[in-house]
C-alpha cells in the first residue's frame, strides 16, 4: 500500500535548493494544488525541469514570479514574462533545450542510460560545451541524462497502490518524469481500489510512485 500524504507533508519534504521535475504542458496535466502550496511555503533556490514556464499567474510560473527558482530546464518560456525578465536580468539561469531532446534526457535517466546521440542542435548554441561524436561519417551531440530530487506529477485516476492513469493529453511528460526522480509524488484527481484500473490503462506503474496526494 502506498502512503497517502497530506498537502502539508508533501510540501514539507521539498527543501531549499531541491531539484523538481514538474509534469504538464502549458499547465495541462500539472499538479496545480501542490504547486500552489509550494508557492505559499516560500521554499527557494529551486531547480525546475519542465516543458515550459506556462503563462503569467499560472502553474509553476507562480514560483518564478515569487523568485523561488534559481535555475530552469525548459523548451519554451514565451508565455511567462517573469521568466524572460529574470533571465535577462541574470536572476534566473535558463537552460533552453529542444523539446525532443529534453524528453529523451529524462527518459535516459529513468532507463539508466549514460546518454544518447542526437543531431539536433548541431551547429547552433545548443552544441556549445557538448561532446561531438562521429558515427558512420555523421556528427552527433552527446546529450547526458537528467534527473531530479522530486517529480511532481498529476494523475487522472490513481489506485491505492499508486498505479496511475492519465486522461488524454494530460499524460505528456508525466510518465517519464515519474521514472527519473528520487521521490515521486502524484496529485490524484480520483483514487480507486486496486484492480479498478485495467492493466493496459496503467501509464505509470505503482513501482515508481512514492506518495499519493488526493486533490481536495
At 167 the pLDDT is 97
Query: Please, are residues 56 and 82 in contact by the beta-carbon 8 Å criterion?
Result: yes
Confirm whether 52 is domain-assigned: yes
At 103 the pLDDT is 97
Question: Which residues, listed in sequence order, are joined to residue 155 by a DSSP beta bridge?
Answer: 188
Query: Please, are residues 69 and 48 in contact by the beta-carbon 8 Å criterion?
Result: yes
Regions in the chain scoring below 70 on pLDDT:
1-2
CATH number of the domain encompassing residue 36: 3.40.1080.10
Start-to-end CA span in the chain (Å): 21
At 48 the pLDDT is 97
The per-residue pLDDT for range 127-173, each reduced to its tens digit, is 999 999 999 999 999 999 999 999 999 999 999 999 999 999 999 99
Structural domain harbouring 206: 3-111+148-214
Confirm whether 50 is domain-assigned: yes
d(CA 44, CA 64): 10
At 86 the pLDDT is 96
At 2 the pLDDT is 66
Confirm whether 139 is domain-assigned: no
Confirm whether 183 is domain-assigned: yes
Amino acid at each position: 500500500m502506498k502512503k497517502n500524504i497530506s498537502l502539508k507533508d508533501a510540501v514539507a519534504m521539498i527543501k531549499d535548493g531541491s531539484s523538481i521535475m514538474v509534469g504538464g504542458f502549458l499547465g495541462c496535466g500539472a499538479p496545480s494544488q501542490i504547486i500552489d502550496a509550494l508557492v505559499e511555503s516560500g521554499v527557494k533556490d529551486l531547480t525546475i525541469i519542465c516543458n515550459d514556464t506556462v503563462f503569467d499567474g499560472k502553474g509553476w510560473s507562480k514560483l518564478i514570479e515569487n523568485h523561488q527558482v534559481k535555475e530552469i530546464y525548459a523548451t519554451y518560456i514565451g508565455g511567462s514574462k517573469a521568466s524572460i525578465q529574470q533571465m535577462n536580468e541574470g536572476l534566473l539561469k535558463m537552460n533552453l533545450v529542444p523539446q525532443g531532446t529534453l524528453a529523451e534526457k529524462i527518459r535516459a535517466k529513468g532507463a539508466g542510460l549514460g546518454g544518447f546521440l542526437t543531431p539536433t542542435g548541431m551547429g547552433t548554441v545548443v552544441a556549445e560545451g557538448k561532446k561531438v561524436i562521429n558515427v558512420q561519417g555523421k556528427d552527433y551531440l552527446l546529450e547526458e541524462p537528467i534527473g531530479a530530487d522530486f517529480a511532481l506529477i498529476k494523475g487522472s485516476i490513481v489506485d491505492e497502490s499508486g498505479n496511475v492513469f492519465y486522461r488524454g493529453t494530460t499524460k505528456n511528460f508525466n510518465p517519464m518524469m515519474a521514472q527519473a526522480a528520487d521521490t515521486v509524488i502524484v496529485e490524484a484527481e480520483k483514487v480507486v481500489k486496486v484492480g479498478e484500473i485495467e492493466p493496459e490503462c496503467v501509464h505509470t506503474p505503482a513501482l515508481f510512485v512514492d506518495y499519493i496526494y488526493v486533490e481536495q
